[in-house]
Structures are given as C-alpha cells and as structure tokens.
Structure 1
Amino acid sequence: MGHDINGLHHVGHIVHDLDQAMERYRRLGFAVAAPAYPVMPATPGGPAEPFGVANTHVYFPRGFVELVAVIDGTGRMPGDARAIPLRVPEDRVAGLRAAIRATADGIASLLQRFQGVHIVIADTPDIDHVAARLAADGVSHGGVHDIQRPVETPTGTSMEPARYLEVSDLRLSPGRVQEGRLGFAQNVSAETPQDQRHIDHPNGATGLVECVLCVAETALPEVERRYEGYFGRARHGRVTRFDRANVTVVPESALADLLPGERPAALPAFVAYAVAVRDLSVTEKLLSGNDIPVVRTGPEEMFVPADAALGVAIVFRQDG
C-alpha cells in the first residue's frame, strides 16, 4: 500500500484576487506562468464568454503550485491572462457548463472557509491501480477522469493530457473531504512541458517537497487512519509523516513547535507547504530585500508566515 505514489503532484492555493496573488508570489521569488481562463458560449451559437475559474502555476521540474480564483462575473481578468476556448459539440455545451459551474461553486465554498491551500494532489505513475486499491479498501472516490489542461510552452499554449481522481467523504459533496480536495494525478506524457519551463526561480526553488495538514487533537486518530488508507504506512511522532506522499499531519497543539506563531484559520486545514531551494541564504536575502518577513526554524529551514503569503505558510528548506 502506498507504493503507487511518488510524492506531491501539486497543491492548490485558492485566492480572492489572482492579480494580487501573482504579485505576491513574484515578490516571494517565484516565476509565475501567465494565467488562463476558459471561455465558451452560454448558449449554442452565442458569443464566447469567460466563466468558471482562472488559474496559473508555479512550475518545478516535478510538480507545481496552482493559484486559483473564481471568475466573478465582472469580466475582469488579470492583464496577461490567456483565454482558453472550450470547444464541444452543441449538444454537450449545457452539460459542460454545468460541470464547470459546479467546480467553481466548490472552489468558492472552500474560499469561504479561508483564503489558502485547499487542494492537495499526490503524484502516481498508475492511477488505475490507485483507483482499484482505494475501492478495495472501501475509500469512496469519483473515479478516474481524463482531462486536457493548458500549459505554457516555448511555442505557446499546449493542452497537456492528465488523469486524476478525487477522494470523497460521503457526508460532503462529491470530491470533498473535510480538509478540502484531496486526490491523485497521473501525467500522461512521458515528458511534460513544465519539465522545460519556469524552473529558474529567482528564490532558487527546486521542488515542492511537503504539505502540512493541521487537525484537532481529537480528530488525529481518524485522520491518521484515513491517510494511511490513502498513502500507506506513516512515521509517527509528535507529527505524523506520510513519506511517500510528502504529507505531514500535525495536531493543533504541536503546530507552534513546527511553525512558531502560526495558527490554523480553521480545522482541519492545510496550513503550510514546503519547497526546496538551492541556497537558503540567497533565498533569505531575496525575501528580505522584498520586505517579506521570515521566521528561522533551523540552520536549513525558514518560513514565510501565512499572514504574508495569502493564508498559507510557505517553508523554504535547503535542498539536499
């Protein structure tokens, strides 16, 4: 169990204002791709219009951070945003719009909890095996979905195939668990465009290496049981680490030991994620020069508090 997982595929940071989020991430030293948003007619034969969610990515050689915002209906888009036309047969327009609207409503409901990370997706080389394993263990999920997602390449926007599934808590809406959206993804292409783009970050970031979930003390046993079903055996201690997925679960009482001064906006909540960097001292100098506060937690690690990073603490850890 858990041997069909290769760490984190991506985390999704849901924000109120995508322009603000992109500006903040650039001050944090990340290279941020141009945002994209879907457009399609509201009725067959009508004019194409934006709807659903707009997003952009911070790419690493493996994995990425996604910035997501709901399109608010005003027509206002980030200045460099790219429209992605969705073309389907006319008899499928209504169904696709309903599905995308449901996704946007789900994102909006997560944002109502707090601005921050609500989406955590683990990477797998064999999503069909994951789906079968979860089903055999009695874990509810919505099945494997095949999608095309826009990715910026040297020659323009490319639609990259991917496959994903999301775990469901039957007490909540489909694709939801108490802490947000949790699932697995498999890149179909052997070499994906992000392998060649946006990997030279000014802060020296080289990869997404951890996500931290904070839970109430009383909920810890149930969450550990669930996550062992998802990700396999854990290392237990003051915090619980699921090494194959690079996910850490911490009770609220231990959060201050891990991230001094941090408090969860809600429980349960993904309160932090970590990236590796080439040279921590260079990263710290860049952040200081951009008036970004940092908290040192050791000679090889520091973090930017959630208040300065739009609702999630971002840990910078010396690579290697």
Structure 2
Amino acid sequence: MTYSINAFHHTGILTRDLDGLERTYRSFGFTASPRSRHLLSERPGEPPQPGCTANACLLFGGSYIELLGIVDESAPDPWRTKSMADGFQILNFDTDNAEGVDRALTAAGLRTSGVLDLEREVDTAEGTRTMRARSLHIDPRTTVEGYIGIAQHLTREYVHQPRYLDHPNGARGIVTVLIVAADDQLDAVVERYRRVLETDSSPEGPRTVLERKGVRLELIRASDVPDVLPGEPLLAQSYLAAMTIQVDDVNRARGIVESAGTETRSTSDGFFVSARDAYGAGLYFAAR
C-alpha cells in the first residue's frame, strides 16, 4: 500500500490555561495566530458542531504547533478532549488524501476514527473565513503515548497566513518528535509507526529512528530518559516527550528565551528548554 504522509502537520499542547500557554510561548519568541474556537464533527458524515476548545497556532508555513485550550467546560466535547491530560498530547501527520490514508491504515490492521470534519472561523486580510480540514485519529486506546492522527488541509491558505510566519526567534518548522515508550512496549510502538509511515527504523544509540520525507521520529525506552533527557521528569511510561524546532540562528533564539527568564541547556546543535517550563513539551532548538 502507498499513500501520502510527507510531513508533520502539527503537534498539540493541551491546557486548561490557554492564556498562560500563549503568554509562555510568545515569551520564547514565537508569533501566535489569533485565538479561534473549534467546530467539530463527532462521527464521519456528521456536520461540525461548536465544541469546548479553542486554539492559537505557531505557524511555520508547513507544520505548526497548536496551543489548544479547553475554554468552555459546559460545551460539547465531540473529540473527547476533556479526558486528555494537560501537556504535549497531540501528534498529527500531514496528508493530501485523508480517505486514502484511512483505508490504508485500516488495511494495515490499525483502528481509526474514520475521516472527521473540522472547521473554525479565522481572521484573514480579506475578513473572516472558515478554515476547513479533514482528519482521522488512530484509536487512542492503542496509542498510550498520545493522541495520534493524520490531517488534511482543505483551506491551507487560511491557516498558514504570511503575516503569522515571521517569528522573532527565527523558527521555521518542526523537524523531529521524540517519543518515550515503556521498555516492554518499544518494539510494538516502533512497529506501529513503521506501518503508519511506511518506512523502516534504524538505531542511533539509545534512539530508534523512523524517517519519511519531512518526518523524523525518535523513540526511546523509558529507562533511557535520564541519559537522553538529563534532568527531565519521567512523565509516564509512554508519552510524547519533546520536539525539535528549526531556527535560523540558535544564539538569537537562545537570547530571546533566556531574556524572558527561562533557563536553557546546551545541546550538540543548539539548546533545550525543559518541559517543566514549556507546559509539558520539551523543546529543542537547532539550526538545520
């Protein structure tokens, strides 16, 4: 089977404190799009309905980081967001054929939600427009590390607007996601992502790496967290741990982060911000 997963679509950080999450990431030198409420469908073919969530996005022209907040506890929750813990919870891959990916994943033995519709109103230079997308979720009961999906833009131009792509820290996109898996589950988790991405894995020290075009996943055992992520808390036996952001100038980006009062740690190709300071998502910044 062949289908098009070519890049990261977005990662998502969930919070009940969207004001604080936005403020923190702006202090890291990111430009955030205006906040927007979600309209979501619960089942394939059903019309989108107002939900309990809103987001602001850190947009890079291709991938983006979604700052996702539960902003109305009394509103409907068709995508069961209220059951999710706060933190780095969402990883979506990009496709231009959601229906084809859904068929292929089902044929590969993975349970999915089917293709669902998403809408939200966004401000554009020409006025308010409706952003539309299609997505499918892998059964979250089988992905204890987080909520994994594949998404298709129908109105990409309303999301990645040029006026939101210029970040003071020089951010250009998500290039790597690091996943922690329980020691006895690593092989099974690697095999699942191998089927999702249709690619082989390779070892790089304690990391198992899968790459497909614009996607690079690094997976490690929970017992290797102290070596790979020194000083970081073990948040669970399996979880989405960190992402790497490509920036134009590491020193400039580091200066912005540290000038806001956040500590950083040097890495071989940049610097690292602890998940403790970034609402549950470890952040690598690297010039690549």
The Cα shift of 1:116 comes to: 1.1
CA distance in 1, matches of 2:117, 2:30: 29
After superposing the two structures, state which structure 1 stretch, 230-239 or 282-291, moved more. Answer: 230-239
Q: In structure 2, how many angstroms separate the alpha carbons of the residues matched to 1:240 and 1:164?
A: 27
Unmatched segments (≥5 aa) in structure 1: 40-49, 75-96
Deviation of 1:158 (Å): 1.9
Deviation for aligned residue 1:193: 4.0
Matched, 1:146 2:130: no
Matched, 1:318 2:287: yes
CA contact (8 A) 1:55 1:66 kept: yes
54 and 161 in structure 1: CA distance in 2 versus 1, 3 angstrom threshold: closer
| Cα distance in structure 2, aligned partners of 1:318 and 1:234 | 26
Maintained 8 Å contact 1:13/1:119: yes
Contact 2:30 2:171 in 1 (8 A): yes
Match of 1:307 in 2: 276
Q: Provide the residue aligned with 2:183 in structure 1.
A: 217
* Kept after mapping to 1: 8 A contact 2:145/2:180: no
2:78 is aligned with 1:102? yes
- Compare the two structures and name the one with the higher strand fraction: 2
Structure 1 letter corresponding to 2:36: A
1:277 deviates by: 0.1
1:1-320 map, 5 Å: 4-37=4-37, 52-73=52-73, 100-103=76-79, 106-111=80-85, 115-168=86-139, 172=141, 177-189=143-155, 191-237=157-203, 238-244=206-212, 245-298=215-268, 300-319=269-288
Where does residue 80 of structure 1 map in the other structure? none
Identity %: 29
Please list every run of 5 or more consecutive structure 2 residues that lacks an aligned counterpart in the other structure.
40-49
d(CA) in 2 for partners of 1:247 and 1:133?
20
Task: Check 1:166–1:257 CA distance in 2 against 1; reply closer, same or farther (3 A cut).
Answer: same
Change (3 A) 1:287 1:189: same
SS at match of 1:69: strand
RMSD (CA atoms): 2.2
Counterpart residue number, 1:46: none
* TM-score computed with the length of structure 1 as normaliser: 0.79
Normalising by the residue count of structure 2, what TM-score does the alignment of the two structures yield?
Answer: 0.87
Q: Distance in 1 between matches of 2:255 and 2:202?
A: 35
Q: Do the aligned residues in 1 keep the contact of 2:37 with 2:121 (CA within 8 Å)? A: no
* Superposition deviation, residue 195 in structure 1: 4.4
Secondary structure at the aligned position of 1:102 is classed as: coil
How many equivalent pairs are there? 274
